[in-house]
Amino acid sequence: MYHGVRSEYSGDRRQETGDRRQETGDRRLFLFILPTPDTPHPTPHTLHPTPHTRHPTPHTPHPTPHLFNKDERIMARTSEYLSNSD
């Protein structure tokens, strides 16, 4: 009999706890601001006044292109090495 009273009490307690949780739970307010049709955006989107144009001077190659071939590079490095070794 005591067992029955205890389960009844715990059942009430669960209900009470649920109510208390509902009373003290998080409350969040969502505010939605809708635009009104009589206030449009002040300046409508317009394209850039001047369209994109290419750079006035096209890409030009380096003024002094690489003229050495493989053998000339090896000879140049060797002569630099020999001149620096003195």
1-38 confidence digits (pLDDT tens): 555 555 445 555 555 555 555 566 778 888 888 777 77
Rounded distance between C-alpha atoms, residue 1 and residue 9, angstroms: 13
Delimit the domains of the chain by residue range.
23-84
Number of helices (H) and strands (E), helices first, in the chain? 2, 0
pLDDT of residue 53: 65
- By residue count, the chain amounts to 86
User: Which segments within 10-80 are labelled E, that is strand?
Assistant: none
Question: Tokens representing 35?
Answer: 């635009």
